Amino acid sequence: MGGGGQLTEPGEPGSGRDDGVYTWEEVQRHCNRNDQWMVIDRKVYNTTQWAKRHPGGFRVIGHYAGEDATEAFAAFHPDLKSVKKFLKPLLIGELAATEPSHDRNKNAAVIEDFNTLRDQLETKGFFRAQPLFFCLQLGQILVLDALAWLIIWIWGTSWTLTFLCSVILAIAQTQAGWLQHDFGHLSVFKKTSWNHLLHKFVMGHLKGVSANWWNHRHFQHHAKPNVFSKDPDVNMLHLFVVGATQPVEYGIKKIKFLPYHHQHKYFLLVGPPLLIPAYFHVMIIYTVLWRRDWVDLAWIISYYIRFLCCYVPMYGVFGSIALICFVRCLESHWFVWVTQMNHLPMDIDHEKHRDWVTMQLQSTCNIETSLFNDWFTGHLNFQIEHHLFPRMPRHNYHLVAPMVHALCEKHGIPYQVKTMWRGLVDVIRSLKTSGDLWLDAYLHK
């Protein structure tokens, strides 16, 4: 069935059914890399060959192989009618009339109410961006970049001024990270091509990072947040054990790459300072070269040429490299704490096949809103709203939050909001709890 990865039409050998009508059981058999089917609006598609050409990466398609992808499809794509044209050649049939519209453990009532809410928000214009808001975000970054250089050019390269320059550059880099996130999610312009162009400019020229690498990684996180083997953000490379399931599994199997019961301590030495300057940069270089992504490579090179031209005359080559490494380290601390406090303390487990709303709410929490919190996190303190509506401009999150909260209350879904301090502390607390679970399983099971 599925022809081992070849596209099939109803009635052809290998399609599994002559009438092009399928049950969920039949669809769910096609769930491996060489044989992928998925369901969107009750239509069955064979995406095996096409997955490699998917703009968001082949892995995110594979994460929904053998499943209903309707909710994820609607969440990620701004122009559904246009995108569905690409699906027509992949269509092989539809679900049988006796089959429910949603598979496995998904709550039909929650899905219906959420679709109604999303339609209302679309109608009321909550998915329309305010150009001035994003112009100010870009202007902030450019001014900070220029200010950092002017301080050194005018007043010199003393340790104090170098530290001040580094802090300003780190602020610019982090804010650029939040802005590229907006373009990457297609939440600024109506035209997808404009979002892609500005995404490459901000990510490549202002940050020196591959936009495609980010897209392929980040969309997986949104599609299956906190799901082992699907969300790359919980792939800890055996450095940490997270959640309540993985520590016990490691402990029972006597897996001990590191003393995990001390991970809440060595996290401070490994996670925040090294994620961006070490791990991310190695992965970016590897991915760009492996995929032969010469366009992204050119954007990255343009950033380093600009940076070195600005700072080599004052610091020399090695001094400039040291400066950028220190800036990356500062940025990495900021990035890690902001992104982890929304997800790491939440449910982290293997695939449970839950509906979109339940999956996102169980893996995500919010941080209280304030002018500082909104700016400091790039509005990702509204992580729940962002995960439910990834294409929504972030300046509308606070308007949508009460409606999302009401939906969650109606269906008994926990909607967590924390203070910034509690969110930060919970990162360490969750690592300690997971480490203790590992130690107990390792010694006694």
Q: Is 194 left (phi over 0), alpha (psi -120 to 50) or beta?
A: alpha
Q: How far apart are CA 23 and CA 196, in angstroms?
A: 38
Mean pLDDT of 77-82: 84
CA atoms within 13 A on the CB side of 36: 19
If one counts the domains in the chain, the total is 2
Residue 2 has pLDDT above 50, yes or no: no
Of 35, 75, 156, residue with least CA distance to 355: 75
Would 98 be classed as within a structural domain?
Answer: yes
Could you give the percent of the chain with pLDDT greater than 70?
96
The pLDDT confidence band at residue 85, using thresholds 50, 70 and 90, is: confident
* Residue that is last in its domain, among 104, 121, 142: 104
Give residue 212's pLDDT: 96
Instruction: Say yes or no: 286 and 188 in one domain.
Output: yes
Instruction: Say yes or no: 217 and 320 in one domain.
Output: yes
Instruction: Say yes or no: 87 and 191 in one domain.
Output: no
Residue 11 has pLDDT above 50, yes or no: no
The pair of structure tokens assigned to 173 is 């880099």
Instruction: Say yes or no: 100 and 135 in one domain.
Output: no
**pTM of the complete model:** 0.92
Would 194 be classed as within a structural domain?
Answer: yes
Residues 50-59 as b or e (16 or more Cβ within 10 Å = b)? bbeebebbbb
Would 399 be classed as within a structural domain?
Answer: no
Q: Which domain holds residue 324?
A: 131-225+255-341
Would 390 be classed as within a structural domain?
Answer: no
Mean pLDDT of 337-366: 97
Instruction: Say yes or no: 193 and 259 in one domain.
Output: yes
Would 39 be classed as within a structural domain?
Answer: yes
Give residue 17's pLDDT: 56
- In CATH, what number is assigned to the domain containing residue 67? 3.10.120.10
Mean pLDDT of 200-218: 97
Predicted confidence (pLDDT) per residue in 22-73, tens digit:
999 999 999 998 999 999 999 999 999 988 888 888 999 999 999 999 999 9
Mean pLDDT of 111-121: 97
Residue 3 has pLDDT above 70, yes or no: no
Would 261 be classed as within a structural domain?
Answer: yes
DSSP 8-class letter at 417: E
